[in-house]
Amino acid sequence: MTAGDPALACEDLGFSFGSLRVLDGVSFEIEPGAVVALVGPNGSGKTTLLRIAAGVLSPDAGRVSYPTGGPRSVGYLPQSPAFAPGFSARRTVAFYDSLVKGGDAPDDLLARVGLTDVADRDVAALSGGMTRLLGLAQSLVGDPGALVLDEPTSGLDPAMTRRLFDLVDAATEAGAGVLVATHDLAAVDRVADEVLLLDGGRFLVRGTPDEIRAAADADSLDDAFVALVGREDRRVRSGAETDATPSAPVAGDGSTDGGGGSTDASTTDASTTDAGPEAGHDGSTDGSGGGGA
């Protein structure tokens, strides 16, 4: 890694599930020490973009790059972290640490995420919030130069949420670049250096939180989101909407179906998670246990 290299760079990414175009020419960079927030309506492709950015899903087009040289280039916290049953939190982190050897010791990592008191508890006995914090500890193994976090605050109480973003701050102070997808727009307002609003496979708008608010002529990011995306009916997208102008500030009035010239936006009930079907072992993370015979 040399001075000036981004911690994470995505160039002209494209991805489709069959005939469904999920990402179309998406590009961005994250500088070391910066936090970039990825927001967008449900089904807009955030998880797909994060998985591509983390290197666990191959794009149909474009490329992802990180600086090399460290023991681990990118850390990844999936949307629903789950771990092999029958292991304590400490042994789980120790396993991941054993794949790197060069990161923090397992106990140090557990202390950083506040799980010292449950270090010997079986992962199956951890609460959802604790499991997410364990996932965060896993993502920090090897001190990666880039962190990709998918809905890290989902299911966390306010204290845990604060601790999580304190850890994000610590990681950025250590030089990591962070890409985080979240619906917690108040947290985005506090921590993000840049916000990427993904809709219809492209960035509907991007900029600092202030620029996003200004683009929507809104007082808060919540209001700006609703105005720009026009999703007051709380439905999720199931179809490709590919006419959005990339990276263009949009002064949405909240009355359109996508704010970016989307076409034929069929809708479904608002209960699905992000980004449609997944193929094979790049598939769902339902957290079910097992792994035994």
Partner 1 sequence: MNDLARTLAVAEREFRTLLGSRQFLALAVGFLLAVVGFVLAGAGDRGFVLLGLSLLTPLEVLLPVLAVAVGYRAILEDARRGELDTLRTYPLSRYAYVGGVYLGRLAALLPTVLLALAVAGALTAVGAGPATGVVASHTTVDSPLLYVRFVLLTEVYAAALLAVAVALSSVVRSTVGALAAAATALLVLVVGFDLGLVGLLAGGDGPVPGALVAASPNGAYRGLVLELVVHVVTPERLGAAATPVLSLGSLGLWTVLPLALAAAAVWRD
Q: Which is nearer to partner 1, 263 or 284 (CB)?
A: 284
Q: Which is nearer to partner 1, 71 or 175 (CB)?
A: 71
Q: Which two tokens stand for residue 284?
A: 């769902």
Q: Which is nearer to partner 1, 101 or 219 (CB)?
A: 101
- Identity of the residue numbered 109: L
Q: Give the dihedral sign, CA 233/50/280/16.
A: positive
Q: Which is nearer to partner 1, 44 or 131 (CB)?
A: 131
Q: Bridge-partner residues for 180, per DSSP?
A: 37, 149
User: Quick one: how far is CA 10 from the chain centroid?
Assistant: 14
Place of tokens 């949009």: 250
DSSP code of 39? E
Place of tokens 């490329």: 63
Q: Which is nearer to partner 1, 59 or 209 (CB)?
A: 59
Query: Of the candidates 175, 114, 165, which has an alpha carbon nearest to the alpha carbon of residue 145?
Result: 175
- How near is the Cβ of 22 to partner 1 at its closest, in Å? 17
- How near is the Cβ of 26 to partner 1 at its closest, in Å? 19
- How near is the Cβ of 31 to partner 1 at its closest, in Å? 20
- How near is the Cβ of 250 to partner 1 at its closest, in Å? 32
Strands 146-150 and 74-77: parallel
Region class of 68: left (phi > 0), else alpha (psi between -120 and 50), else beta: beta
Q: Which is nearer to partner 1, 158 or 283 (CB)?
A: 283
- How near is the Cβ of 4 to partner 1 at its closest, in Å? 24
- How near is the Cβ of 64 to partner 1 at its closest, in Å? 12
Strands 202-207 and 8-17: unpaired
Q: Which residues of the shown chain bind partner 1 in the complex (CB under 8 A)? A: 51, 54-56, 58, 71-76, 78, 80-87, 95-96, 98-102, 138-139, 141-142, 144, 280-293
- Identity of the residue numbered 84: A
- How near is the Cβ of 203 to partner 1 at its closest, in Å? 24
For 292, the 3-state DSSP assignment is: coil
Give backbone dihedrals phi and psi of 177, rounded to 5 degrees, phi first. -100, 140
Q: Which is nearer to partner 1, 145 or 230 (CB)?
A: 145
